[in-house]
Structure 1
Amino acid sequence: MDFGKIFIAGRWSEPASKDWIVVENPATREEIARVPACSSEDVDRAVKAASAAFPAWAAMPLEGRMALMERFLEQFRSLEPQLVDITVRELGSPVAFTTKSQVEYQYVRTRSYIDLAPKVPLFEKMAASSVYREPVGVVGCITPWNYPLGQVIQKIVPALLMGNTVVLKPSQHTPLSSYYLTEAIERAGFPEGVFNLVTGRGSEIGTALSTHPLVAMVSFTGSTSGGITVATNALRSVKRVSLELGGKSPYIILPGLKNWDEPIHILFNSIFLNSGQTCTAFSRLLVPRSEASAIEWRLAEISREYTVGDPRDPAVKLGPVSSERQFRKIRSYIEKGIEEGAKLLVGGVPSEPGPKEGWYVHPVIFTGVSNKMTIARDEIFGPVLCVIAYDSAEEAVAIANDTTYGLNAGVYGEKSLALKVARRIEAGNVYVNSSPRDTSAPFGGFKASGIGREGGVYGMLEFTQQKALFDTKL
C-alpha cells in the first residue's frame, strides 16, 4: 500500500502539499508510515471531484447504489488480515479486540445499512402534497482515531447509499486503515469522484472542508470542542452539520443484586477495552451506598482479568493508549483525582516509559468520588473509572443527569425498576441489564454529546433533505 498518495476522482494521486505526517505505533513508538499533510488545494480538488460526480450518483436508482455497496462489502471482507494488522499497529488496539470490534463489527454495520436502505421513507404521500427525501450533496466526513474504521463506516456507507458523494478526512493519528477501506471502494467499481480520501491535520483540513462552498454537509465525530469549531465554520455558510461528540456516561447498579459479576463485566468491557478510548464508555459507576464496600471488593477482584501488554498477544485485553499526548492527558487526570481526595482502589499514576516503551496505562478505579470532582465531570478518555455512592434511585438519576453530556448510560437491576430509571436518564442511548447493541437503532447524544443520529434508518435520514410538492391540482 502506497501511503504517500491520496484518492481523488477515482484515482490515487500525488498531493499538492509536500508536507508529511508521521504515523507512530504507540506500542513501540516506531514510525509505521508517513501520509500527506494535505493542503486546502488538495481539499478543493477532492470537493470539486465529488461535486462533479454528484448529479449522476444522486440520479442512480437506490438498487444500483446498493449493488455497489454489496461489492464494497465483499472486497472489505477480503482485506480483513490487512485491516486487523494495520489497526493493531496504528492504534495499539489488542488483536482480539481489533478483530472482533474494530474490524468484523464493521461488516455487521455495513450489512445493516444495505438491508435497511429500502425501508428508508424517501417518499410519503400527505393529504395535499407529496414529500420526497433527496440527497444533500457533497458531504465532508471528519473521523476520529479511536475507532478508525467504525467511525468511517458510520458516515460514508449511509451517505453514499442515500445518493451523496463524499470527501473523507480520517484522523491524522490513525489514517492507515482508511487506505485499505479506500482500496475496497476502488475494487468495487464506484464511479469516479463519488468517494474521495484526503489526509492531513484536523485544524487545516477540517477547516477547509467545513468552509468550502461546494460542501453541503459536514459529519464530524470527535471532541465537543472540536465539534463546536467545525459547526461554527460550517454554519457561516449555512451547511448542514451532524456531530457525534463526547460523553461522561453513568452506569447504575441498582440495589438488591445477589451477584454483581455480570454488570461488572459489562462495565469493565465498556470502560477498559480499547484502553477507555471510547466515547460511550461507562466512566461513572453509581452504586448503592449500603452495598458499596462489597461491590468495590468485587471490582478489584475482577479487574485482574483485564490484562495489559503487547497488543499482538491474543490474550491481552488492553494495549497502549494511542499517543504520548493521550498518555500525558490521562496521567494528569489520575494525578488530579488523587489531589481532589478520591481513593485509588485499583491502579495508580502510570510511570514514564523508556525511550522504546509504549504508552501504557493500566486500569484505574477511584472510589469515594463526588460527582463535583474534575475526574467525574471531564471526559478523560482513558481506562479510569469513578465510583460514586448514592442513597436512593432518585439520587442516582440526579447524579447520572448532572453532567454536560448525554451520550450513553446503563442500568442494571430488577427489570421493572431498571426500565423506570432508564427512561429518566438524559442520554441518547441507555442499556438495560445485559441487552446487546442494536445496529438498526439510532445512535447519538443529548446536550453537549452531539447533534443528529447515526445508525439504521435514522442514520440514513441524516444524509437526506425534505422536499414537499403541493401537487393536488396535477
Structure 2
Amino acid sequence: MQRYDMFIDGESRAPATGQWFPTDNPYLGTPWAEIAQGGPSDIDDAVRAAHRALHTGPWADLTASARGALLRRLGDTIAANARRLAETEVRDNGKIFTEMYGQLRYLPEWFAYYGGLADKVEGSVIPIDKKGYFTYTKKEPVGVVAAITPWNSPLLLLAWKIAPALAAGCTVVVKPSEFTSASTLELVRLFHEAGLPPGVVNVVTGFGKDVGAALVEHPLVRKISFTGSDTTGRHINQAAARDFKQVSLELGGKSPNIVFADADLAAAANGAVSGIFAATGQTCIAGSRLLVQESVHDEVVRRVVDLARTARMGDPMDEHTQVGPVTTPAQYAKVLDYVDIARREGAALALGGKSATRPECGNGWFVEPTIFTGVRNSMRIAQEEVFGPVLAVIPFRDEDEAVSLANDSRYGLGAGVWTSDIGRAFRVSDRIRSGTVWVNTYRAVSPLVPFGGVKESGVGRENGIEAITAYLENKSVWINTGAAAGNPFVMR
C-alpha cells in the first residue's frame, strides 16, 4: 500500500509516534493506503514552523501583490493536476468522480479570486478630531491558523480556508479528517513544488483526540477554522475561548427544500433529488427536508420517487455512476440506524430504506436512495442531521406554515425555495433563518459569495470578501505631528 507521511516546514516527515494507520476505499471496503499517525509533538513542530514562516523568511518579506501572484500560481498547479487529485479523493472518500473532478477543475477559481484580493486590502486615514495628530488604520494577518477539514469534500473545503488565509498573509497548519487525508498531503506537496515557502502550509494527520486537540489548544495558534459536526464545533469553540482564539465554524444542517404549488414541478423534483442524493447526501447543505404544498404533494412525491429510482449506483470512478458509497463504516451504520428510527416513529417508506445489494455495488458501503413520507417536523428524521441519502417529505398548507416549518430547526445553513412568484421568492427568502437561500436552484457555490450558517450551523462566513477580512486584524496608528504635551495624568 502507498504510505503517506506528514508535511511540516516544507518537507515530508514521518510521525514522532512511529505509527501509521490504514485509510479505506469505501467502494471496495478495504484499505488502500497508510496515513501517518501524528501526535502532540508533531503539532508543536508544525505550529512553530508556521509561526517562524509568519515572522521571518521569504513569506514574511513578500509584498501583498507577490502573495497574490503566488496564489494564482498555486491555482494553476491545481488545474494541471486536477484529474490526479480527483482520483485520489474518489479512492479515499467514495464520492463520484464526475463531482470530484468538477470540484477540482473549479477549485483554481478560489486561488484566482483571493490572489486578486490580496493587494486590495486597504486601511484608511482618519480625519481625527484632535490637533497635531495623524491617524490611520492598517490590516495585518491574524497569525497562525488551524484549518480543520472534514471527509466529504476535503480539498474544496480546504481551499475555502487556505486561499483567503494565505491572501491575508497568514500561515496555516491543516488537520484533515483521518478518513480522507491523502489528497490534502498530495496537494500541499504540489504547492511546495510550485514555490510556496517552507512552513507556510503544514499538514499533520492523525486523530482528533491526539492532533486535533493539541492543535486547537496550542498557544501560538490565533485562529481556528473548522468544518464538521456541531458537536465537535462546540468543543472547539469552548477550547478556543480559553485563550481568546478567533473561530470560524461551519457546522451541520437540516436544510428545508420548499416546493410551492406554483413551482415548475419538474425542475423542483430535479432540485430535490440533487439536494439530497447528489454526494450521497454527505453534505452539510443537503436538502434533507422536502417541504411540499399540500395541493401538489402527491405529484411531487411521485416525480421525486420516480427520478430517485433511476439513480445509477456503483463504482464511483465510473463516469456513469450517480450515487456512490457512504464514506465510512460508522457513517454507513448511522444512516441505516436513522432509517430504523424513522420507521419506528411512524414515517412511511416510499423508496429504499436498506443497504444496496446491487451487483455493481460490490462490497462497498452503499445505502439505497431513501424517501420517507408522512413525516412530522418533530420527528428525529426531520430534526437531526443524518448525513446520508435519506429524504424526509413534509406537507404544508400555505406560505406561513412553510416558513414556520423551515425555521423550526436548531440549524440554519441552507434552504431552497421553488416558486414562479417573484414576490414570494423575496418574501420567503427574507423570512427564512438561514445563511443561504437558493431560489429555483440548489447547491450552487462560488468563491465570490459568502457561505455559512446561523443558529447551531456555525459562526462566521467563508468565501466572498468577508472571508479574507476574517483572517485580518485591524491596527490603529497615532502619530504625534506636533501636539503639545499636556497633563500626563489626563487622557488626551
Does TM, scored on the shorter chain, surpass 0.5? yes
Which is greater in Rg?
Answer: 2
Answer yes or no: is the 8 Å Cα contact 1:410–1:431 preserved in 2.
yes
Percent identity, aligned pairs only? Answer: 39
Which residue identity lines up with residue 113 of structure 1 in the other structure?
Answer: Y
| Residue equivalent to 2:40 | 40
| Residue equivalent to 2:349 | 344
1:431 aligns with 2:431: no
Q: CA RMSD in A?
A: 1.9
Q: 1:404 and 1:11 mapped to 2: Cα distance?
A: 43
List per-residue Cα deviations over 1:180-232 (Å, max 9, x = no partner).
21122111111221111110102221110111111111111100000111121
Answer yes or no: is the 8 Å Cα contact 2:74–2:191 preserved in 1.
yes
Describe the SS at the equivalent of 2:313.
Answer: coil
Which residue identity lines up with residue 340 of structure 1 in the other structure?
Answer: E
| Residue equivalent to 1:74 | 76
| Residue equivalent to 1:186 | 192
After TM superposition, give the deviation of residue 175 of structure 1 in Å.
Answer: 0.4
1:334 aligns with 2:342: no
1:221 aligns with 2:227: yes
Q: 1:410 and 1:118 mapped to 2: Cα distance?
A: 36
Superposed, 1:364-403 pairs within 5 Å as 364-403=370-409
After TM superposition, give the deviation of residue 351 of structure 1 in Å.
Answer: 6.1
List per-residue Cα deviations over 1:378-434 (Å, max 9, x = no partner).
000001111111111001001000000011111110222111101110011111123
Describe the SS at the equivalent of 1:312.
Answer: coil
Superposed, 1:271-350 pairs within 5 Å as 271-350=276-355
1:469 aligns with 2:477: yes
Superposed, 1:87-236 pairs within 5 Å as 87-101=89-103, 103-120=104-121, 122-128=122-128, 129-236=135-242
Structure 2 vs 1, CA of residues 390 and 126 (structure 1 numbering), >3 Å: closer, same or farther?
farther
Q: 2:450 and 2:320 mapped to 1: Cα distance?
A: 33
Structure 2 vs 1, CA of residues 471 and 390 (structure 1 numbering), >3 Å: closer, same or farther?
farther
Of residues 73-82 and 218-227 in structure 1, the stretch that sits farther from structure 2 once superposed is 73-82
Answer yes or no: is the 8 Å Cα contact 1:58–1:164 preserved in 2.
no
Structure 2 vs 1, CA of residues 35 and 300 (structure 1 numbering), >3 Å: closer, same or farther?
same
After TM superposition, give the deviation of residue 59 of structure 1 in Å.
Answer: 4.8
Q: Which runs of 5 or more structure 1 residues have no equivalent in the other structure?
A: none
List per-residue Cα deviations over 1:343-368 (Å, max 9, x = no partner).
11111122689997110011111111
Of residues 327-336 and 356-365 in structure 1, the stretch that sits farther from structure 2 once superposed is 356-365
Of residues 189-198 and 381-390 in structure 1, the stretch that sits farther from structure 2 once superposed is 189-198
Describe the SS at the equivalent of 1:282.
Answer: coil
After TM superposition, give the deviation of residue 317 of structure 1 in Å.
Answer: 0.5
Q: Which runs of 5 or more structure 2 residues have no equivalent in the other structure?
A: 129-134, 483-492
Q: 1:50 and 1:320 mapped to 2: Cα distance?
A: 36
After TM superposition, give the deviation of residue 112 of structure 1 in Å.
Answer: 2.4
Q: Give the alignment's TM-score, normalised by structure 1.
A: 0.95
Answer yes or no: is the 8 Å Cα contact 1:252–1:287 preserved in 2.
yes
Superposed, 1:10-89 pairs within 5 Å as 10-56=10-56, 57-89=59-91
Q: 2:60 and 2:432 mapped to 1: Cα distance?
A: 39
What is the number of residues matched between the two proteins?
A: 471
Q: 1:126 and 1:253 mapped to 2: Cα distance?
A: 50
List per-residue Cα deviations over 1:325-347 (Å, max 9, x = no partner).
01000000011011111111111
Q: 2:207 and 2:479 mapped to 1: Cα distance?
A: 48
| Residue equivalent to 2:422 | 415
Which residue identity lines up with residue 218 of structure 2 in the other structure?
Answer: H
After TM superposition, give the deviation of residue 323 of structure 1 in Å.
Answer: 1.1
Describe the SS at the equivalent of 1:310.
Answer: coil
List per-residue Cα deviations over 1:236-278 (Å, max 9, x = no partner).
1111111110000011112223x41112212211211111000
Answer yes or no: is the 8 Å Cα contact 2:339–2:353 preserved in 1.
yes
Describe the SS at the equivalent of 2:205.
Answer: coil
